[in-house]
A = this chain, B = another copy of it.
Amino acid sequence: MATALSTDLYEITMAAGYVAAGITGRASFELSVRSLPANRSYLIAAGLEPALEYLEDLAFTPAQIKYLRSLPALRNVPSEFFDETLPSLRFTGDVWAMPEGTPVFPHEPLIRVTAPLVEAQLVETTLLSTLSFQTSVASRAARIVDAADGRPVFEFGARRAHGTDAGLFAARGAYVGGCGGTSMVEAGYRYGVPLTGTMAHSWVMCFDTETEAYERYMDLYGSQAVLLIDTYDSATAVDRIARAGLRPGAVRIDSGDLLTESQSVRSRLNAVGLAETSIFVSGDLDETRIAGLVGADAPIDGFGVGNALSTVSDAPALGAVYKLVEIERKGEARPTLKLSHGKTTYPGRKQVWRFANSHGIYTHDVIHLADDEGSGEGHRLLDRVMVDGQRSRIAPMLNSVQTTTRAQLNRLPAALRDMQQGEQYPVHRSQNLERLMTELSDTLRGAGE
């Protein structure tokens, strides 16, 4: 998991620079997504609790500080930084965030951090990687679960994930997005994600006969066993199961054309008196393939999804940014922005207001300055979740987050969940925010003159 060194070198060089320049006021940064990836019309916020855990635990060890002191890049940094700043550094700030499971759109802050500048700056890298990846996974999981149209989907992608944290976070994000569970044991241990599993081809290959492999597995796991039937030949495997008098809860098919394979396996199971045995499939599945199988009425009872979830294969990087929006200088809070080509940011601490019609369906959002009141019947999306570096409310159980996700998805306009259409949800900015942007842009283009 993340340590204090899970950061970019420039966060450290800037931190040392802020201290040397005496810029120690509180700063506010907001994390948001610049644009939706292809094939997405909404995102589902996820990853908040692991991010808050990182903030609560942030501290440099003596060995880490010794290493930093040895870096040529930091050779001119005053020793006070290594002797005083870093050893005592903890995250002491406030955090506002969208609850996990909230649908979120570009430019809306998922999280806002207000803390002494050095702290708020240092945590950029890990906040971005933690929140972006889980949000990406939860968002894709929501689409995949929609495509499965009521059949359970399980996340099986740890082996394809980008290392151990990635497998763990993928399992967590997929569960937030609606998956029934994961194969990744650590995600059960650490986050309470329900665990599920079948058997690998190696199990079948270790025994003298396929029949013996199935018998020995069912000795131990009984009817909850999911027998993998495609090691040699699926049809033969079903016959062997029947001939041995086994009644597995399910069989799994992991290769071939899953539509025709599932149809022939279903007929064969029914023919041998195993009509109660379900069919579970896996193998390079994503929302498009699942929608195809479901649309063709494939006799499939559940799906195992790997890299489509654990690497978010169609959109592996979310263009999230963490931008300074306000800085306290000489006792005064000043909104900030940048004007870089195509990467302009809006100044000031913000709050997102969401509005619904009389049926409870969301109609649009408005991004306001945080201290302004939103007009009308909307509600605020960002809650205060951390005060002075401590979580200020009990973390919700992950299964209730999953329930929230489903309830929130049901309030989105139907066109947003249609996988073919790419309808855009309306997100406006308040007049006050637009006015501040205009005023400040004019001033800052002249900065330094």
A219 touching B164, Cβ below 8 Å: no
- Give CA–CA (A196, B73) in the complex, Å: 8
A129 touching B159, Cβ below 8 Å: yes
Question: Which among A224-232, A294-302, A416-424 touches the partner chain?
Answer: A224-232
- Give CA–CA (A185, B209) in the complex, Å: 52
Question: Which among A92-100, A165-173, A375-383, A385-393 touches the partner chain?
Answer: A165-173
The reply on A324 being an interface residue by CB < 8 A is: yes
Nearest Cβ in chain B — how far from A191, in angstroms? 12
The reply on A317 being an interface residue by CB < 8 A is: yes
Per a CB cutoff under 8 Å, which of B163, B212, B323 touches A133?
Answer: B163
The reply on A430 being an interface residue by CB < 8 A is: no
B133 touching A164, Cβ below 8 Å: no
A209 touching B164, Cβ below 8 Å: no
- Give CA–CA (A212, B306) in the complex, Å: 50
Question: Which among A17-25, A103-111, A365-373 touches the partner chain?
Answer: A17-25
Question: Which among A83-91, A144-152, A267-275, A332-340 touches the partner chain?
Answer: A332-340
A167 touching B129, Cβ below 8 Å: yes
- Give CA–CA (A337, B158) in the complex, Å: 23
The reply on A217 being an interface residue by CB < 8 A is: yes
B14 touching A340, Cβ below 8 Å: no
Contact with B along A247-286 (1 / 0, CB 8 A): 0000000111000000000000000000000000000000
The reply on A415 being an interface residue by CB < 8 A is: no
The reply on A303 being an interface residue by CB < 8 A is: no
Per a CB cutoff under 8 Å, which of B76, B210, B310, B342 touches A220?
Answer: B76
Cβ < 8 Å to B, chain A residues 100-157:
117, 121, 124-126, 128-130, 132-133, 156
Which residues on B sit within 8 Å (CB–CB) of A197? 8-10, 12-13, 73
The reply on A36 being an interface residue by CB < 8 A is: no
- Give CA–CA (A255, B342) in the complex, Å: 7
- Give CA–CA (A23, B317) in the complex, Å: 43
B336 touching A205, Cβ below 8 Å: yes
The reply on A311 being an interface residue by CB < 8 A is: yes
Nearest Cβ in chain B — how far from A384, in angstroms? 23
Cβ < 8 Å to B, chain A residues 63-92:
64, 67-68, 71, 73, 76-77
User: Which A residues lie at the B interface, using CB under 8 A?
Assistant: 1-3, 5-14, 16-18, 20-21, 23, 27, 29, 64, 67-68, 71, 73, 76-77, 117, 121, 124-126, 128-130, 132-133, 156, 158-170, 183-186, 188-189, 195-212, 216-217, 219-222, 224, 230-233, 236, 240, 254-256, 306-307, 310-313, 316-318, 320, 322-324, 327, 329, 336-343, 444-445, 447-449
4 residue pairs, one from A and one from B, having the closest CB atoms: A9-B197, A163-B165, A307-B317, A10-B197
